[in-house]
Structure 1
Amino acid sequence: MTIIAQLSDIHLAVAAPGGDDRSGPARALRDAVSAVLALPERPDCLVLTGDLADNGLPAEYARLHALLSPLAMPVFALAGNHDDRAALRSVFTDHAPGDDPAAPFQYAVEVNGVRLVCCDTTVPGAPHGELDGARLAWLDAVLTAGPDLPTVVATHHPPFRVGVRFLDEMGLREPDAFAAVLARHPQVVRVISGHAHRASAGSIGGVTAITCPSTYRQIYLDTGRPGQAAYTGESAGFAVHIVGEDRSAVSHFVPTGGHRPLMQVD
């Protein structure tokens, strides 16, 4: 059994001198870290599915790295549309090879018998996501190289419509090509994404796909009107994915903040 924790849409910001207080996302991240540490079994790794910084500033990634330091597990980062690839690379240096700092931030790792493939869907300067021919070819080659291990594919933009118009208008463009790649690789047991600022589930290429809650703010579930961002008072949270050697997979959503001691049920 392999346990993968997922945090997303942290939107960590730093205030300019004399500027407004931007401590809310940092407090929320501390709550999320505490909740991960409170799990009864330590995850084998943590994946961050994008929008880690609010403005893509090097200082934001440095602060993020410091706030995550209590976690004694590998941490794998992925870019979102608010992130800057070069600045992200400057702090998360281990898993994004290549000399071009602006190249897609994507890689594959093996964690306790499970492959985690972090696939960059971002388009610099735009809120929507894309997987062009080069990135799809990369993904296909990476999956072809590991056919025997259960695999989790992580993206920032969800590859399915979540039903909130504001989100779907800046979702992943032309997901059918992504679906075709996944359909060729039955070892993929889950696609995990962020961007939606709420938990949701769909499917792509015959694979269950989920979006993770934001550690900070959740977007209002408005399915009926032309969209713009509206936040709710719903609890922040994160996801936990449990992958079995038999390629079984289950995903849980865990609220953050206000944790109480474990109580036995008679």
Structure 2
Amino acid sequence: MAIIAQLSDIHIAAGRGGAVDDDSGPVRALRAAVSSLLSLPARPDAVVLTGDLADGGRPAEYARLHALLSPLPMAVHPLPGNHDDRDALRAAFGDHPAVAASGVLPQAPVQYAVDVAGVRLVCCDTSVPGSQYGNMDPDRLAWLDATLAERPATPTVVATHHPPFPVGIPFLDDLRFIDPSGFADVIARHPQVVRVVSGYVHRGSVGMLAGRVSTTCPSTYRQLFLDLTSAGRAAVTGEPAGFAVHLVGLDGGATTHFLPTGNYRPLMEVDGAG
């Protein structure tokens, strides 16, 4: 079984002077998330970062992010969101061979596939530079189709920033994907895909895409208010920050857990189960 942790929507931000305040909310929140990951009884085999890693796409933000993630002993696999700059992200994670190899041209998509404990993780770039919405253009869809075709018998998790399924929050659903049908068609052709995991929503949610369970991840920083009314409202709440942990079996079974960050010990032992 592979254990893949997911951190998302970290939003490390530099101030007007270009430096990152080490006492800022996003920095303190990421430290708490890293500490929570390290305290898990079974440590993940890898961590995927599903976009909006930096708030302004500045090199200083990525440098601080990289340093804050350095206590993690497992591989960390980043992908960009609508707040990110592809080239700055790629430069900061130059020690990640697949990320570095994705940069053939300036602002080329950061997309790649890696093996995690017998499971495949395919990281897709749904960002559109200068825009909030997501998209997988024909070239990116062709890359995804070909990449999935390489390993048809290996259980696979596909990661994106923008979720390709509706979450019920109107203003987010308007921005998530220009046209998710092409993405869904590709996923439908590859039955080894057992999860599609995304960020962007700043809260955990579960949906379906092409018959596959698909999820979004809590933000390590701020959670979005769950407003399902027709107009919708963009507001954050005081809900706890969090992250996701995906358990993927070599038989293709998969389970996802959503965890709040923080130290909730001491544990209280209980008799029996349930």
**Residue 204 (1) aligns with residue 209 (2):** yes
Q: Sequence identity, in percent?
A: 64
Residue of structure 1 equivalent to 2:36 = 35
- Three-state SS of the structure 2 residue aligned to 1:169 is helix
CA distance in structure 2 between the partners assigned to 1:157 and 1:19 by the alignment: 28
Residue of structure 2 equivalent to 1:46 = 47
Unaligned runs of 5+ in 2: none
Q: What are the residue-to-residue correspondences of 1:117-136 with 2, within 5 Å?
A: 117-136=122-141
CA distance in structure 2 between the partners assigned to 1:106 and 1:188 by the alignment: 17
Residue of structure 2 equivalent to 1:171 = 176
Residue of structure 1 equivalent to 2:67 = 66
Select the residue among 178, 190, 194 that pairs with 1:189: 194
- TM-score of the two chains, using structure 2 as the length reference: 0.94
Work out whether residues 203 and 218 of structure 2, in 8 Å CA contact, stay in contact via their aligned partners in 1.
Answer: yes
Work out whether residues 52 and 79 of structure 1, in 8 Å CA contact, stay in contact via their aligned partners in 2.
Answer: yes
- TM-score of the two chains, using structure 1 as the length reference: 0.96
Instruction: Report deviation, 1:20.
Output: 10
CA distance in structure 1 between the partners assigned to 2:7 and 2:106 by the alignment: 24
Pair 90,18 (structure 1): closer, same or farther in 2 beyond 3 Å: closer
Instruction: Report deviation, 1:170.
Output: 1.2
Q: What are the residue-to-residue correspondences of 1:52-131 with 2, within 5 Å?
A: 52-93=53-94, 94=96, 95-96=98-99, 97=101, 98-131=103-136
Pair 18,54 (structure 1): closer, same or farther in 2 beyond 3 Å: closer
Output the amino acid matched with 2:15: A
Residue of structure 2 equivalent to 1:232 = 237
Instruction: Report deviation, 1:139.
Output: 0.2
Work out whether residues 35 and 259 of structure 1, in 8 Å CA contact, stay in contact via their aligned partners in 2.
Answer: no
Work out whether residues 149 and 190 of structure 2, in 8 Å CA contact, stay in contact via their aligned partners in 1.
Answer: yes
CA distance in structure 2 between the partners assigned to 1:181 and 1:20 by the alignment: 40
Residue of structure 1 equivalent to 2:6 = 6
Instruction: Report deviation, 1:15.
Output: 1.7
CA distance in structure 1 between the partners assigned to 2:260 and 2:78 by the alignment: 21
Residue of structure 1 equivalent to 2:262 = 257
Residue of structure 1 equivalent to 2:153 = 148
Output the amino acid matched with 2:184: A
Work out whether residues 89 and 101 of structure 1, in 8 Å CA contact, stay in contact via their aligned partners in 2.
Answer: no
Instruction: Report deviation, 1:100.
Output: 1.3
Select the residue among 192, 214, 218 that pairs with 1:213: 218
- Three-state SS of the structure 2 residue aligned to 1:126 is coil
Deviations 1:40-98 (A, max 9, x none): 10100000000000000000000000001111000000000000000000011222224
Output the amino acid matched with 1:9: D
- Three-state SS of the structure 1 residue aligned to 2:65 is helix
Deviations 1:157-209 (A, max 9, x none): 00011111121121112111111111110000000000000000111111110
Work out whether residues 197 and 219 of structure 1, in 8 Å CA contact, stay in contact via their aligned partners in 2.
Answer: yes
Instruction: Report deviation, 1:140.
Output: 0.2
RMSD value, Cα: 1.5
CA distance in structure 1 between the partners assigned to 2:115 and 2:196 by the alignment: 16
CA distance in structure 2 between the partners assigned to 1:252 and 1:134 by the alignment: 33
- Three-state SS of the structure 2 residue aligned to 1:141 is helix
Q: Which moved more, 1:91-100 or 1:23-32?
A: 91-100
CA distance in structure 2 between the partners assigned to 1:86 and 1:193 by the alignment: 21
Unaligned runs of 5+ in 1: none
CA distance in structure 2 between the partners assigned to 1:16 and 1:33 by the alignment: 26
